[in-house]
Amino acid sequence: MNKSDLVSAIADNSGLSKADAARALEATTTAISTTLASGDSVAITGFGSFLVRARAARTGRNPQTGAAIQISASNAPAFKAGKLLKESVN
């Protein structure tokens, strides 16, 4: 499912127009992104949690030359599925 399929599904399930569903989806993703960028997490009960995980600095290898390179520490967005979502998938 891509973004346009998701917008169509939201419109069909909610009775919104596709334009309103697209704006709602855009507002939701923007709110989640902004919250994660500030370092907080977003929890949607029954669905799951979006959070930021810290990645430590580490040594990697250049696959072409085999030379060791230093990979700097970074933050990565993550999603942890909730109980109801896990049960619906299984």
Q: Which domain holds residue 63?
A: 42-90
Q: What is the mean pLDDT of residues 17-24?
A: 96
Percent of the chain at pLDDT > 70 equals: 100
Same domain, 85 and 49: yes
- Position 62 scores a pLDDT of 93
Percent of the chain at pLDDT > 90 equals: 97
pLDDT tens per residue, range 51-63? 999 999 999 999 9
- The count of residues in the chain is 90
Contacts of 71 (CB under 8 A, 6+ apart): 57, 58, 59, 60
Report the 10 Å Cβ neighbour count for 20: 14
Q: Rounded to whole angstroms, how far apart are CA atoms 77 and 83?
A: 20
Q: Rounded to whole angstroms, how far apart are CA atoms 48 and 57?
A: 28
For the entire predicted model, the pTM comes to 0.79
Q: What is the mean pLDDT of residues 15-19?
A: 94
- In which residue are the tokens 């619906």 written? 88
Task: Count how many domains the chain has.
Answer: 2
Same domain, 52 and 90: yes
